Structure 1
Amino acid sequence: MNLIVRPIEVADHAAWDELYQAYAEFYGVDQTADMRERVFGWLTTHAHEVNGFCAELDGALVGITHYRVFARPLAAATGLFLDDLFVSPDARGTGAAGALIDAVRDVAKSDGHSVVRWITAKDNARARGLYDKIANETAWVTYDLNV
Structure 2
Amino acid sequence: MTTIAPLTSTDHAEWLGLWHGYLAFYEASIADEVTESTFARLVAGDELHGAIARDAAGRAVGLVHWLAHPATWTTTTYTYLEDLFVDPATRGGGVGRALIEHVRTWAESRGSHKVYWLTHEANTTARALYDRVATGTGFVHYEITLGR
Same fold judged by TM-score > 0.5?
Answer: yes
How many corresponding residue pairs?
145
Could you tell which deviates more after superposition, 13-22 or 30-39?
A: 30-39
Structure 1 residue 103: Cα displacement: 0.5
Could you tell which deviates more after superposition, 28-37 or 124-133?
A: 28-37
Report the Cα distance in structure 2 between the residues aligned to 1:131 and 1:4, rounded to whole angstroms: 20
Correspondence for 2:50: 52
1:1-147 equivalences under 5 Å are 2-46=1-45, 48-57=46-55, 58-147=57-146
CA displacement 1:67-105 (0-9 Å, x = unmatched): 000222123331110000000101101111000000000
- For the residue of structure 2 that corresponds to 1:35, the secondary structure is helix
CA displacement 1:33-88 (0-9 Å, x = unmatched): 22211110101123x51101110012000100000002221233311100000001
Q: Which runs of 5+ in 2 are unaligned?
A: none
CA contact (8 A) 1:70 1:79 kept: yes
Report the Cα distance in structure 2 between the residues aligned to 1:22 and 1:32, rounded to whole angstroms: 15
The root-mean-square deviation of aligned C-alpha atoms, in Å, is 1.1
Report the Cα distance in structure 2 between the residues aligned to 1:74 and 1:113, rounded to whole angstroms: 12
Give me the identity figure in percent: 34
Report the Cα distance in structure 1 between the residues aligned to 2:44 and 2:134, rounded to whole angstroms: 31
Structure 1 residue 27: Cα displacement: 0.4
With normalisation by structure 2, the TM-score equals 0.93
Q: Which runs of 5+ in 1 are unaligned?
A: none
CA contact (8 A) 1:56 1:63 kept: yes
